[in-house]
A and B are shown apart, each in its own frame.
Chain A
Amino acid sequence: MSTPRFIDIHALQTVPFSNLNRDDQGAPKTVVFGGVERTRISSQSWKRVIRHEVERVLGDPAVRTRRVVRGVAERLEKQGWPKEEAEAAGRQVARSAGSGIKLERSKDEQDEEVLTTSVLLYLPEAGMEELTAIAAEHRDAVVVEEAKPEKKRKGVLPGAAIAEVLGRRNGTINLFGRMLAELPGANVDGAVQLAHAFTTHSTSVEYDFFSAVDDVEQELGIPGSGHINTAMFSAGTFYRYANIDLRGLDANLGKDTAAARELVKTFLDAFITKLPTGKANATAPASVPDLVHVAVRADRPLSLATAFEAPVQPAEGHLAPSLDKIVAYAESVNTLLGADQRLWSGHTIAGRDKLTQLGDHHASFADLTTAAVAAAYGRESA
């Protein structure tokens, strides 16, 4: 039997009048595909909300920060260290981190001077505690070194231990990767590939003229409005796609299969439920996918975007013809690539007939993602 190599997740999702992801003009992002303009939601925008959701669910947040010095100093102050010593220890953490990472002076939001690292670090939040512990262990050495004139100060903390913490990964770093040039070995190639979402049909931007009332002027009977402007929106049925490289994730996790299962499941769930937040309060676009289709493949990841190269024409809306197109295309391309390469597939669909061509039907999104993980990794041993 072939080994599962990739998991594909596809969704068709109808999003009402909204502007989830906008460009520098404030207009919904677009893409031309099949000769017509569609609304697009960029991969980076959707990935960000998925990342935060995965971190929230797993209780495993990562911090992206330049403020390691302050972070360590604050923790030590809470442990009762005097302020100067705590800050000295914070500086020492940055100094000992390796030659690529330097200390810089800058101003914080209150215009007070702070020391920051020259690069934006990205580490599991728990790592800050460990950096603090390393500094605390070497308190005497820290105090002696930081008492020297500034130019002569060197890092006295164990560099390897600090580099190890800074290079440590949490779940989302293993899933989505990390780019950190300054610390050898800290780069992580992401296991997830996430495509830009686009509508299956042509769209055009809707211009929403609005005015805001000046309440005081209105009471005084002065005609006119306080503010007028135009906002831009669109609506449509999106095709969304992502895949996971199972071997790559396995390598990132050091072959920890239990962690891999959990991450894959959490990622699939977050992919299904989360929406980017642009203008969310003004439009309440909180929809869920109409169709989710997951496939476990032995050969290569397979996007079904081509199903919509010819834009869908409305026929009782865009969703019904989109479903027809995705089913027809999935069938033909799977036949072409060899049906045996799709080791498992399943789908969940709202309010319509099951689509037998897209694998087993599952009543809920959670059932679908649980079954997908079982297909990729085998049933959980009790």
Chain B
Amino acid sequence: MSGLLLRLAGPLQSWGEHSLFGERDTLSFPSRSGLLGLIAAAQGIQRGHPLGDLHQLRFTIRVDRPGVRLVDFHTIGGGLPRARTVLTADGKRQSAATATIVTKRHYLSDAVFTVATEGPDILVTDVAAALRRPRWQPFLGRRSCPPEQPLLLDRPVDDPVAELRRHVPVPRWAPRDGSDLELDFVHEGDHDDAWQRSELYDTPTEFTRHDRRYRPRPVSVVSTPVPAARCFGRSETYQAELIRYIQGAAR
């Protein structure tokens, strides 16, 4: 087993769990289906094709910055004649004034997550290669959300979860008293120290366009200390440190 570190950051991201029709929600951290979709798109696995070995990947998410929730007011079909507007539940037409389809799309703005991805060596090597040269554009849950690069923190790591605990730089200020910064870690499955455990329906069998099915998966959120020395609050300092980290200089 070996692993990879992915960094999901950008102005906007959105990890829908129940997203259908009008209200398109987001979880407060990346979903398993979102992460698998990101990797599958990079590998060029087409919609409707089985995800194969990708099911073996295990993700541990460090919430570097939870971000701010944003609800985007998005309209469709405004200004159309009445007959072309969307039907109401009882089959009638709405008046022209109210006929526009309104959807609310939830996003996390300003969020940063670092994801430890573990799996068999061959698979992990393949995934890394795909993320370096993705077949389709990567996006953070929604196509209009391109990720910051590098998405893949490209350096060899044996134990990516330990890297998250000790080494990967954090884009936050450390506590003033110099103590460790507590960050939320989202683990798959049960965890003894969890302060929150929930069940998410976000494990896809495959990505068909319709009739997507998801299996439930337990998730545990654990508050975990990260050394104050790895916290870099100022944007430029953090970016410079991140580059140093990727290049293997910082240990």
Enumerate chain A interface residues (CB-CB to B < 8 A).
5-6, 23-24, 29-35, 42-44, 65-67, 106-109, 114, 116, 120, 179, 181, 187, 189-190, 193-196, 198, 241, 243, 245, 247-248, 298-303, 305-306, 309-310, 329, 332-333, 336-337
Q: B234 contacts the other chain (Cβ, under 8 Å)?
A: yes
Of B87, B137, B243, the residue contacting A301 (CB under 8 A) is B137
B144 touches A193 (CB 8 A): yes
A245–B173 CA distance with the chains assembled, in angstroms = 38
B243 touches A66 (CB 8 A): no
Chain A residue at minimal CB-CB distance from B234: A310
B133-149 CB contact bits vs A (8 Å, 1 = yes)? Answer: 11111110001111111
Return chain A residues, CB-CB under 8 Å to B39.
none
Q: A242 → chain B, closest Cβ, in Å?
A: 9
Chain B residue at minimal CB-CB distance from A70: B83
B91-132 CB contact bits vs A (8 Å, 1 = yes)? Answer: 001001000001000010110000000000000000000011
A65 touches B93 (CB 8 A): no
A109 touches B82 (CB 8 A): yes
Return chain B residues, CB-CB under 8 Å to A116.
83-84
Q: Give 22 CB contacts A-B under 8 Å.
A: A24-B102, A32-B68, A32-B109, A33-B11, A34-B235, A66-B83, A106-B83, A106-B93, A116-B83, A181-B210, A193-B139, A195-B146, A196-B12, A245-B136, A299-B133, A303-B147, A305-B148, A309-B235, A309-B239, A310-B235, A336-B150, A336-B243
Q: B227 contacts the other chain (Cβ, under 8 Å)?
A: no
Chain B residue at minimal CB-CB distance from A310: B235
Q: B155 → chain A, closest Cβ, in Å?
A: 12
B93 touches A107 (CB 8 A): yes
Of B81, B146, B236, the residue contacting A243 (CB under 8 A) is B146
B134 touches A300 (CB 8 A): yes
Return chain A residues, CB-CB under 8 Å to B146.
193, 195, 241, 243, 301, 303, 305
A106–B94 CA distance with the chains assembled, in angstroms = 12
Pick out which of these stretches binds chain A: B26-34, B70-78, B176-184, B187-195: B70-78
A66–B81 CA distance with the chains assembled, in angstroms = 11
Of B11, B81, B109, B110, the residue contacting A108 (CB under 8 A) is B81
B144 touches A194 (CB 8 A): yes
- Given that A32-B110, A66-B84, A299-B132 are contacting pairs, would A195 and B144 also be in contact in the complex, using a CB cutoff of 8 Å? yes
Chain B residue at minimal CB-CB distance from A243: B137
Of A29, A32, A179, A248, the residue contacting B136 (CB under 8 A) is A248
A58–B159 CA distance with the chains assembled, in angstroms = 54
A107 touches B133 (CB 8 A): no
Q: B246 contacts the other chain (Cβ, under 8 Å)?
A: yes
B149 touches A302 (CB 8 A): yes
B110 touches A305 (CB 8 A): no
B188-212 CB contacts (< 8 Å) to partner A: 209-210
Q: B129 → chain A, closest Cβ, in Å?
A: 11
Return chain A residues, CB-CB under 8 Å to B235.
34, 309-310
Chain A residue at minimal CB-CB distance from B74: A44
B149 touches A300 (CB 8 A): yes
B83 touches A108 (CB 8 A): yes
In this complex, the member of A32, A302, A303 whose beta carbon has the largest number of chain B beta carbons within 10 angstroms is: A32
In this complex, the member of B11, B82, B96 whose beta carbon has the largest number of chain A beta carbons within 10 angstroms is: B11
6 shortest interchain CB distances as A-B pairs: A310-B235, A43-B144, A109-B81, A108-B83, A23-B73, A32-B68
Of A108, A187, A190, A332, the residue contacting B239 (CB under 8 A) is A332
A108-B82, A116-B83, A241-B146 known, 4 other contacts, Cβ within 8 Å: A29-B72, A32-B67, A300-B131, A310-B235
Q: B50 contacts the other chain (Cβ, under 8 Å)?
A: no
B70 touches A31 (CB 8 A): yes
- Given that A5-B133, A198-B11, A299-B133 are contacting pairs, would A67 and B84 also be in contact in the complex, using a CB cutoff of 8 Å? yes
A6–B132 CA distance with the chains assembled, in angstroms = 13
- Given that A23-B73, A31-B11, A35-B110 are contacting pairs, would A337 and B150 also be in contact in the complex, using a CB cutoff of 8 Å? yes
A43–B12 CA distance with the chains assembled, in angstroms = 11
B137 touches A193 (CB 8 A): yes
Return chain B residues, CB-CB under 8 Å to A6.
137
Chain A residue at minimal CB-CB distance from B247: A336
A301–B235 CA distance with the chains assembled, in angstroms = 22
Chain A residue at minimal CB-CB distance from B81: A109
Of B12, B110, B134, B243, the residue contacting A34 (CB under 8 A) is B110
A187 touches B209 (CB 8 A): yes
A187–B48 CA distance with the chains assembled, in angstroms = 13
A310–B133 CA distance with the chains assembled, in angstroms = 28
Return chain A residues, CB-CB under 8 Å to B93.
106-107
- Given that A305-B148, A333-B149 are contacting pairs, would A196 and B11 also be in contact in the complex, using a CB cutoff of 8 Å? yes
A303 touches B10 (CB 8 A): yes
Return chain A residues, CB-CB under 8 Å to B109.
31-33
A179–B247 CA distance with the chains assembled, in angstroms = 42
A298–B11 CA distance with the chains assembled, in angstroms = 24
- Given that A109-B81, A196-B144, A305-B10 are contacting pairs, would A32 and B149 also be in contact in the complex, using a CB cutoff of 8 Å? no
- Given that A32-B70, A245-B136, A300-B138 are contacting pairs, would A306 and B236 also be in contact in the complex, using a CB cutoff of 8 Å? no
Return chain B residues, CB-CB under 8 Å to A24.
73, 102
A107–B246 CA distance with the chains assembled, in angstroms = 62
Return chain B residues, CB-CB under 8 Å to A65.
84
A196–B107 CA distance with the chains assembled, in angstroms = 12
- Given that A245-B137, A248-B136, A337-B150 are contacting pairs, would A44 and B144 also be in contact in the complex, using a CB cutoff of 8 Å? yes
B1-38 CB contact bits vs A (8 Å, 1 = yes)? Answer: 00000000111100000000000000000000000000
Return chain A residues, CB-CB under 8 Å to B83.
66-67, 106-109, 114, 116
In this complex, the member of B68, B146, B236 whose beta carbon has the largest number of chain A beta carbons within 10 angstroms is: B146
Chain A residue at minimal CB-CB distance from B96: A109
- Given that A34-B235, A193-B144, A303-B147 are contacting pairs, would A336 and B132 also be in contact in the complex, using a CB cutoff of 8 Å? no
